């Protein structure tokens, strides 16, 4: 029999099973709530994250002023005035604002398929480079050797491949194939006309447009642009925001009558509410866990108080505070270990139960591991704090 067993037997007398059971139950409830909330959040959030590939992802909003019927009739330009832009920039939730620049000239593109040509009118827009989700090689423009790199929306390719090509029996095109197709771009305006080679260098899922580098746009507008239109207000803005679903963002957009491109705003809002609700649930769970931790500390403090005489006798025999405190560590470790295992099991079962319902809403499950890891970190922190509380108390008793 080791002395640890003797001291253990000595010091673990007077343990209140009821108190410790109360702690275990309370902590189990708290931890299970926290872990379930995290897992649920992750599962549901994953469906929003897959949407991040869409027109609006989590951080970007593309805004345009509402086009009125009157504007259509009169042909009046509806753009963002400098005042409107600076007001937008001043909002606390705005990280940065980028302006879409329009081409002030006519653009047409033609493709040569072994003698059979195909030509179409186009439009160009440019956006500051830092707002792009893709950085393809060749995304630069040199006026000395003008070749026009173009980024188009992924949606266009999808529209062609799955809408047009499949219904007409035409071959579907991959991004790689399209990148290799040489284009002839004709620019006309300001009494001039010129043709330059062009190439589609990348596909963006953030912008629903045909984009060219800003440097090209500046150069082309100065050469081919209609000077009367030069410096017109940008018709679209890209805004990087903290959380596009936040109510203040929505309120601002509504009160100014702006339109958000695409209809993903709702998913952002749902994401925002999910974040808020999960936050509340996790807080409730954390508060329960915290209270449970206080029960544990209180229960152990009472136990140590009851054993105070024994503790000081052990000290007189030469026992160190650490070796005495160690007699209590297994209690905490076993209880917390059991609490963690049960809470993890509950989370697993919970995830399995809601998975079926979520699957019908085409939301896939995510891995349990990160949640288990967070739960483990919480229980490890509680265990460590428990140890420290015991050691601190025993040390105090040991002082002469």
Partner 1 sequence: MKRLLPDVFRGAENDPPVSRSQVWLHNLELSRGDEYLIAAESGTGKTSLCSFIYGVRTDYQGDILFDGENIRSFDTARWCHIRRRHLAWLPQEMRLFPELSVMDNILIKNRLTDCCTEAEIRRMLEHLEVENKADTLAAYLSVGQQQRVAVIRALVQPFDFIILDEPVSHLDARNNAAVAALVTESASAREASVIATSVGNHLALNNPKIIHL
Figure out which of the listed residues 48, 60, 319, 328 binds partner 1, where binding follows CB under 8 A: 319
Query: What 3-state class would DSSP assign to 343?
Result: helix
Query: Shortest distance, CB of residue 13 to partner 1, whole angstroms?
Result: 6
Return the residues of window 4-23 that contact partner 1 according to CB under 8 A: 6-7, 9-10, 13
Query: Shortest distance, CB of residue 383 to partner 1, whole angstroms?
Result: 24
- Tell me the per-residue interface mask from 376 to 395 with partner 1, x by CB under 8 A, - otherwise: -------------------x
Q: How far is CA 376 from CA 36, 41, 386, in A?
A: 13, 18, 15
Figure out which of the listed residues 121, 316, 360, 362 binds partner 1, where binding follows CB under 8 A: 316
- How crowded is residue 281: how many other Cβ atoms within 10 Å of its Cβ? 17
Distance, in Å, from the CA atom of 75 to the CA atom of 277, rounded to the nearest integer, reads 46
Distance, in Å, from the CA atom of 304 to the CA atom of 370, rounded to the nearest integer, reads 37
Contact between 175 and 203 (Cβ < 8 Å): yes
| Candidate ranges 46-54, 80-88, 262-270, 318-326; the one touching partner 1 (CB under 8 A) | 318-326
Distance, in Å, from the CA atom of 322 to the CA atom of 307, rounded to the nearest integer, reads 16
Of 37 and 324, CB closest to partner 1: 324
CA torsion sign for 353, 356, 361, 365 is: positive
Residues touching partner 1, count (CB under 8 A): 22
- Cα within 13 Å of Cα(383), Cβ side: 19
Query: Shortest distance, CB of residue 18 to partner 1, whole angstroms?
Result: 21
Of 5 and 227, CB closest to partner 1: 5
Query: Shortest distance, CB of residue 16 to partner 1, whole angstroms?
Result: 17
The C-alpha torsion from 90 through 92 and 95 to 96, rounded to 10°, is -10
Return the residues of window 275-314 that contact partner 1 according to CB under 8 A: 310, 313-314
Contact between 207 and 127 (Cβ < 8 Å): yes
Figure out which of the listed residues 3, 123, 273, 352 binds partner 1, where binding follows CB under 8 A: 3
Query: Shortest distance, CB of residue 332 to partner 1, whole angstroms?
Result: 22
Rule CB under 8 A: is residue 76 a binding residue for partner 1?
no
Query: Shortest distance, CB of residue 10 to partner 1, whole angstroms?
Result: 6
Distance, in Å, from the CA atom of 102 to the CA atom of 235, rounded to the nearest integer, reads 8
Figure out which of the listed residues 202, 213, 245, 321 binds partner 1, where binding follows CB under 8 A: 321
Extended beta strands in 101-214, E state:
101-102, 106-113, 116-122, 125-126, 148-153, 183-189, 192-204, 210-211
**Which residues are CB-neighbours of 132 under 8 A, at least 6 positions away?**
151, 204, 206, 207, 211
Figure out which of the listed residues 1, 90, 118, 361 binds partner 1, where binding follows CB under 8 A: 1
Of 90 and 316, CB closest to partner 1: 316
Residues linked to residue 97 through DSSP beta bridges, in sequence order: 239
Of 6 and 232, CB closest to partner 1: 6
Query: Shortest distance, CB of residue 394 to partner 1, whole angstroms?
Result: 10
Query: Shortest distance, CB of residue 322 to partner 1, whole angstroms?
Result: 9
Binding site for partner 1 (CB under 8 A): 1-3, 6-7, 9-10, 13, 310, 313-321, 395, 398-400
């Amino acid at each position: 029999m080791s002395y640890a067993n003797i001291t253990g037997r000595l010091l673990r007398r007077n343990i209140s099973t009821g108190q410790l059971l109360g702690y275990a139950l309370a902590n189990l409830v708290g931890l299970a709530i926290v872990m379930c909330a995290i897992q649920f959040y992750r599962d549901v959030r994953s469906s929003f994250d897959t949407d991040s590939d869409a027109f609006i992802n989590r951080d970007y909003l593309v805004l345009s002023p509402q086009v009125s019927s009157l504007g259509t009739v009169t042909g009046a330009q509806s753009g963002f005035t400098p005042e409107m832009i600076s007001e937008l920039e001043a909002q606390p939730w705005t990280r940065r604002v980028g302006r879409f620049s329009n081409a002030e000239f006519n653009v047409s593109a033609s493709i040569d398929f072994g003698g059979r040509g195909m030509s179409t009118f186009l439009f160009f827009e440019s956006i500051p480079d830092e707002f792009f989700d893709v950085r393809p090689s060749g995304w630069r423009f040199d006026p000395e050797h003008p070749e026009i790199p173009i980024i188009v929306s992924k949606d266009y390719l999808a529209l062609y491949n799955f809408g047009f090509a499949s219904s007409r029996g035409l071959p579907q095109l991959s991004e790689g194939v399209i990148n290799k197709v040489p284009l002839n771009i004709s620019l006309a305006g300001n009494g001039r006309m010129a043709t330059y080679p062009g190439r589609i260098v990348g596909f963006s899922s953030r912008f629903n447009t045909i984009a060219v580098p800003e440097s090209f746009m500046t150069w082309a507008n100065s050469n081919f642009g209609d000077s009367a239109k030069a410096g017109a207000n940008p018709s679209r803005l890209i805004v990087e925001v903290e959380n596009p679903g936040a109510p203040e963002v929505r309120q601002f957009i509504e009160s100014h009558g702006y339109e958000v491109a695409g209809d993903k705003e709702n998913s952002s809002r749902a994401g925002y509410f999910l974040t808020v609700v999960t936050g509340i649930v996790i807080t409730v769970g954390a508060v329960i866990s915290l209270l449970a931790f206080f029960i544990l500390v209180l229960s152990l403090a009472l136990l140590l108080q009851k054993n105070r005489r024994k503790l000081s006798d052990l000290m007189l025999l030469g026992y160190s505070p650490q070796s005495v405190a160690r007699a209590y560590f297994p209690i905490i470790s076993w209880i917390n270990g059991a609490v963690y295992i049960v809470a993890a099991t509950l989370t697993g079962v919970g995830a399995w139960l809601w998975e079926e319902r979520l699957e019908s809403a085409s939301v896939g499950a995510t891995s349990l591991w990160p949640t288990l890891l967070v739960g483990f970190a919480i229980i490890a922190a509680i265990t460590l704090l428990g140890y420290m509380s015991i050691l601190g108390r025993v040390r105090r008793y040991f002082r002469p």
